[in-house]
Amino acid sequence: MKNTFYYILIASCFLNIHAIAWNDQTHISVGKAAGFKLAYNLAAPDVAKLKAKNIEAFNHYVDVPKFAIITADIVRKQIENYNSPTDSTGHLYGAIVVAVRDYIRESKQGKSGRYNLCYAGHYIGDLSMPLHNMDYNEFNKKNHFSNDDIIESEISDNLDKIIITEIKIENEDDLINAIVEIANESRNLAYKLEGEQRNMTKEEAYWRISRSSSLFKAVLKFVGF
């Protein structure tokens, strides 16, 4: 835990802290619960941000205004901004789509492409983190790290608390619709937390992670991994 905190403290010197979402064991647990053989790599995209900085960091969140509704059109418009170092409002939703696309494309070319799935799994984990789906306002700044860390110390021993629900993905439109649904849930909880001036409960955090693991499992099935 001390090492994790030290890493995040150092990384925050280089990056806007709201680019950090969940912590390492929480991200890895998303993959484990989804049955991903390379789950240990799901923390790697946060490591990449240390040197890639905004080229990678802006893929991890979206600054969603309080009364905005996330739609499929918003997701599609973000796709072209993947890896953009200038889109500081974030493009997490589009990043998920492109990471999945890249895996499919490279697989068709006879390449492994598996690291694209590691990015996709990480982004899908970020999707369920409420504070990555709201404005980076004073509440977000004050409470971001404590919410990232809320189940970090225990989740690897409590994978049974991650509940997998069926999500059907047969094409990219299905993926986008699932992203929209989970993003709006996360946005709603984020502003509920702000209104009540509190952090997530552990139960809320486990449910958010359950939503990410469920979507990631559906993605793995869709791409045949």
Q: Which residues contact 10 (CB under 8 A, 6 or more apart)?
A: none
In this prediction, residue 21 carries a pLDDT of 78
Containing structural domain, residue 168: 2-223
pLDDT in tens, 118-151: 999 999 999 999 999 999 999 999 999 999 999 9
Domain count across the chain: 1
Q: How confident is the model at residue 166 (pLDDT cuts 50, 70, 90)?
A: very high
Cβ 82 vs Cβ 60: under 8 Å = no
Give pLDDT, residue 18.
Answer: 61
56-98 residue pLDDT tens? 999 999 999 999 999 999 999 999 999 999 999 999 999 999 9
What is each CA distance from 91 to 88, 108, 157, 174, in whole angstroms? 8, 26, 32, 19
User: Which pLDDT score, from 0 to 100, does residue 17 have?
Assistant: 53
For position 1, what pLDDT does the model report? 43
CATH number at residue 173: 1.10.575.10
Angle separating helix axes 2-12 and 44-52, nearest 10 degrees: 30
Q: Is the pLDDT of residue 11 over 70?
A: no
pLDDT tens, 197-220? Answer: 999 999 999 999 999 999 999 999
The mean predicted confidence, pLDDT, of the chain is 92
Q: Are 165 and 213 in contact (CB under 8 A)?
A: no
**Phi, psi torsion values for 152, nearest 5 degrees:** -55, -40
Q: Are 43 and 24 spatial neighbours (Cβ–Cβ below 8 Å)? A: yes
Going by pLDDT thresholds of 50, 70 and 90, the confidence category of residue 12 is: very low
User: How many CB atoms neighbour CB 6 within 10 A?
Assistant: 10
Q: What is the pLDDT of residue 5?
A: 38
Q: Which of 144, 123, 153 has the alpha carbon at shortest distance from 30?
A: 123
Query: CA-CA distance, 117 to 221, in Å (whole number)?
Result: 12
